[in-house]
Structure 1
Amino acid sequence: MSKGIIFSGQGAQKVGMGQSLFEGSPTAKALYEKADEVLGWKLSEISFNGPEETLTETRVCQPALYVHGFTVYTLLEEAGKTGDISLAAGLSLGELTALAAAGSFSFEDGLRVVAERGRLMQEACDATDGAMASMIGGEVEAVKELCAAHDVDMANLNCPGQIVISGETAKVGQAVEAAKAAGTFRMVVPLKVAGAYHSRLMEPARVKFEEFLQGVEIKEPQLTVLSNTTGKAVKTAAEIREALAKQVVSSVLWEDCMREAASMGVTDFYECGLGAVLAGMAKRTDRSWIVKSIAEFADLG
């Protein structure tokens, strides 16, 4: 049976990420050194040593997660463990790592794309007053009604009972208070984020990112890659460019991606990322799915 490979999104980062890979593998060391060279600043130093507030910045954590995820995948490949992988997907930023793993762009080009995405999203965050909140233990329709009533957007549909809303800080605050008062959800949790990701407030970033992508060489993926915006596979360079630009302002349909993978017979995954976040979401969607999370060099054994 074929396997899938899935990659973490923003929020999974932590100080120390990648250091055991760097110290345990010459291949990983070379990738981190190449990343530092491409970016023109010491991603490795910030990933390994922080400070946390710098690593958490959108412009930093997106490249950090990309390099970490791609490095884990490369080491799996080096160990001969990727021969049965037929499908790749990633949560938000992780979709770009999935495309790089599938050969749609080189490690270096993918890193440049991720760095620009992070820069543009940081720029949009700085120019707006945005917030996000997680609605836990409720139904999709209830979240849709809440969003419509308070003029905010659904940012992430991660797994059953876990949906994130995004928008202007005041409006998200009103939605949170309304949700708590109504008792519609088991928990309502405001998120510690820099802005309103995957909402209309990211439109300036989408426009500039779409333009940037026109100058990037993108190849047909060698694995099935699922898009966050549709939950379906993207196959051509044009489809990939459109999906990546649209994703910046659209809902991340992660549950749909995972169910689509299962419909293709893929229910066994490697998660390249920290904190086993995607493994947890998978278990809340279908307990029969198998996810092996790999973040450290020791996990590769």
Structure 2
Amino acid sequence: MGKDLVEASPIARELFERADQVLGRSLSEIVFEGPEEELTKTANCQPALFVHGLAMWAVLKEACPHLNPVAAAGLSLGEMTAHTAAGSFTFEEGLRVVAQRGRLMDEACAETEGAMAAMVGGDEAAVRELAAEAGVDVANLNAPGQIVLSGTVEGIDKAVAGAKARKIKLAKKLKVAGAYHSRLMANAEAKLGPVLVDAEINAPNYPVVSNQRAEEVTDPSEIRETLQKQVTGSVRWVESMQLLREKGNQLFIELGPGKVLAGLMPRIDKGATVETAGDWESLQVLIEKLK
């Protein structure tokens, strides 16, 4: 991931080099070479996605200096990337926070036995009732008919078993290290608080939509609060995208490996235009479209 970007772009290469210096280890080697099981560890995956996303953005801005966003959003860890792109954090400060966030969430995963499951094709009220019955939390509201639950292994198994009775078409356990965006991450949330207090946070150059509130946040104190609460809170992605559409935004650009967010958008709002780029080749296609 990102190797082609670094080989082709000096500005992307510089960001990965700066990341290695900030972290005091070779994150870039893990990102470029793997192995996959090492890269997908939360403590590595979160900084890797953060740096990769910002490297993509740096290359895009360099090629299209006229491109001026009016808002930003990111799903889960992506909210930190969005804030850094918007200037809430410097690259170095944002990376330090992300590294701590990943480490603390890894610790929380090790301390608890958690799981997550996707509920597809069900009514939101029915999924919420099922979650309450099973004693688990609503982690992600990704799109209409696509909700992720998170909690103890026992609770998630109970939710999966009870999905059919709630007329949920598909209930599938996810391959994850723990119960993200649930009460099982409470220790990580508590420990992230002091990290955010110590971090230098600025008012962003354009609004960033909070996962936890599904509202634009621009005040540094609110940014601290929402980023901390996000660790255990629900990712309200549907409402976040609806908010941006209601404000008249038409063009959305997803930067990062995969096209997950682009795939969700038509189910949230078919009227939005979404462009994606996840590597050097697709980024060049996007740049030509935007020039």
Q: Same fold (TM over 0.5)?
A: yes
Using the alignment, how far apart are the partners of 1:274 and 1:226 within structure 2?
21
CA contact (8 A) 1:18 1:296 kept: yes
Q: Is 2:122 aligned against 1:144?
A: no
Bigger RCO (CA 8 Å, 6+ sep)? 1
Tell me the alpha carbon deviations over residues 182-212 of structure 1, each in whole angstroms, 9 at most, x when there is no partner.
1611211100000000000100000110111
State the 4+ residue runs in structure 1 displaced beyond 3 angstroms: none
Task: Give the superposition deviation at 1:300.
Answer: 2.2
Paired residue for 2:45, among 49, 61, 64? 61
Partner of 2:106: 122
Partner of 1:40: 24
Partner of 2:260: 277
Paired residue for 1:185, among 149, 168, 172? 168
CA contact (8 A) 2:57 2:255 kept: yes
Alignment of 1:1-301 (within 5 A): 17-80=1-64, 83-180=67-164, 182=165, 184-301=167-284
Tell me the alpha carbon deviations over residues 242-295 of structure 1, each in whole angstroms, 9 at most, x when there is no partner.
000000000000111100000111121110111100000001212221111111
User: What SS does the aligned partner of 1:105 have?
Assistant: coil
Using the alignment, how far apart are the partners of 1:91 and 1:293 within structure 2?
15
Superposition TM-score, scaled by structure 1 size: 0.93
Partner of 2:289: none
Which letter does structure 2 place at the counterpart of 1:225?
A: V
Q: Quote the RMSD (CA, aligned, Å).
A: 1.0
User: What SS does the aligned partner of 2:195 have?
Assistant: helix
Using the alignment, how far apart are the partners of 2:169 and 2:110 within structure 1?
32
User: What SS does the aligned partner of 1:293 have?
Assistant: strand
Number of residue equivalences: 284
Using the alignment, how far apart are the partners of 1:298 and 1:81 within structure 2?
19
User: What SS does the aligned partner of 1:203 have?
Assistant: helix
Using the alignment, how far apart are the partners of 2:166 and 2:155 within structure 1?
18
Which letter does structure 1 place at the counterpart of 2:11?
A: T
Superposition TM-score, scaled by structure 2 size: 0.96
Structure with more helix by fraction = 2
Q: Unpaired runs of 5+ in structure 2?
A: 285-291
CA contact (8 A) 1:69 1:97 kept: yes
Using the alignment, how far apart are the partners of 1:228 and 1:270 within structure 2?
18
Using the alignment, how far apart are the partners of 1:243 and 1:251 within structure 2?
11
Task: Give the superposition deviation at 1:83.
Answer: 2.6
CA contact (8 A) 2:100 2:192 kept: yes
When structure 1 is superposed on structure 2, of 78-87 and 29-38 the one drifting more is 78-87
